[in-house]
Structure formats: structure tokens, C-alpha cells
């Protein structure tokens, strides 16, 4: 059932991004490209990359039967844009606010905590690469089964 847990975590984060994070972005006074997954063809959207790392357990976590996961959400701007840096800050802030409102991701996990944010400027100006932000999370979930 391990794959099922990871799938639920991935889908919960994806739902948070396309749901509450997009709502927060829509409330801003300036337009920020919404978050979308799949081929929607809107052209004015960003598709973040969600990466979930396998279970990492310390001895203490094994004793109290707690699974821990590392998850990163990466937002990359498709092209260098004059507001790319602003977009990166907006995605980061909106995600942090949305996660703060629902640290259990709808009851799928016990707790999610942002462990870091890294803002990435374009490597070279005018080369077609834009700003980006990588948001790291630590996710804990109570292990209901013996290991």
C-alpha cells in the first residue's frame, strides 16, 4: 500500500495548487499566471513540478511509527519575463499561505512544513530561461502498519 500513500500525497498537493493557491493568486491586484496541470492550451499558465522523495525514517520515527517524506514543488517560468521574479515570490507566498491554512492536506497527512525556499534567477539574461522557485516540504504521516 506504499504507492497508495504517495499517490494520495501527490494528489493532495496538486489539488492544493490548483485550488486554494490559484484562489489566492486570483485575489492579488496584478495578474499572475494560474497553476494548471495537463495540456490546457491557455498559454498564460505555469505547471509546477512536484517531486516526492521516498520515506526517510530515523530511529525515533521508527519507534513512534512515523513516516517522513521530502517533497519539492518547483515553479519555472517558461521565458524570461520582466515580472518573473515577482511571479516567483507570488507563487511562493500563495503556496505558503494555502499550506498554512491546511497543514494536513485535507486529512491525507498528519503535518506538512515548509523547510526551505530557493529563488533561482535566469542563468544568462535573454536566453529564454526565466525565474524559478523551489519550495521544500517535510511531510509526516502516522504509520498505521508495522514495518
Residue 146 confidence (pLDDT): 46
> Is 147 part of a structural domain of the chain?
no
Measured CA to CA, the distance from residue 101 to residue 143 in angstroms comes to 24
DSSP 8-state secondary structure symbol assigned to residue 107? T
Separation CA 52–CA 93 (nearest Å): 21
Q: 147: pLDDT confidence band, cut at 50, 70 and 90?
A: very low
Domain range holding 63?
2-142
Judge whether 66 lies within some domain.
yes
C-alpha cell at 49: 513540478
Question: What CATH number is given to the structural domain containing 18?
Answer: 3.30.70
Model confidence at 124, pLDDT cuts 50, 70, 90, reads confident
Q: In this structure, is residue 18 part of a structural domain? A: yes
Which among 131, 128, 123 is positioned nearest to 84, based on CA atoms? 131
What is the torsional sign of CA 52, 58, 59, 63?
negative
Task: State pLDDT tens for residues 54-105.
Answer: 766 777 767 777 888 999 999 988 766 678 889 999 999 999 999 999 999 9
Asked if the model's pLDDT at residue 127 lies above 90, the reply is no
Q: In what order do the strands lie in the sheet with 111-120?
A: 49-53, 66-76, 132-142, 111-120
How many distinct structural domains can be found in the chain? 1
Distance CA 143, CA 1 (A): 11
Amino acid at each position: 500500500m506504499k504507492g497508495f500513500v504517495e499517490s494520495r500525497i501527490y494528489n493532495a498537493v496538486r489539488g492544493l495548487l490548483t485550488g486554494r493557491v490559484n484562489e489566492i493568486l486570483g485575489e492579488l491586484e496584478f495578474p499572475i499566471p494560474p497553476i494548471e496541470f495537463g495540456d490546457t492550451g491557455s498559454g498564460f499558465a505555469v505547471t509546477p513540478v512536484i517531486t516526492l522523495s521516498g520515506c526517510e525514517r530515523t530511529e525515533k520515527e521508527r519507534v513512534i511509527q512515523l513516516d517522513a517524506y521530502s517533497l519539492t514543488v518547483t515553479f519555472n517560468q517558461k521565458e524570461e519575463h520582466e515580472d518573473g521574479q515577482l511571479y516567483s515570490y507570488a507563487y511562493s507566498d500563495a503556496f505558503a499561505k494555502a499550506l498554512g491554512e491546511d497543514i494536513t492536506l485535507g486529512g491525507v497527512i498528519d503535518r506538512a512544513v515548509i523547510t526551505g525556499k530557493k529563488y533561482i534567477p535566469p542563468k544568462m539574461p535573454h536566453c529564454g530561461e526565466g525565474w524559478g522557485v523551489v519550495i521544500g516540504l517535510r511531510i509526516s504521516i502516522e504509520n498505521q502498519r508495522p514495518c
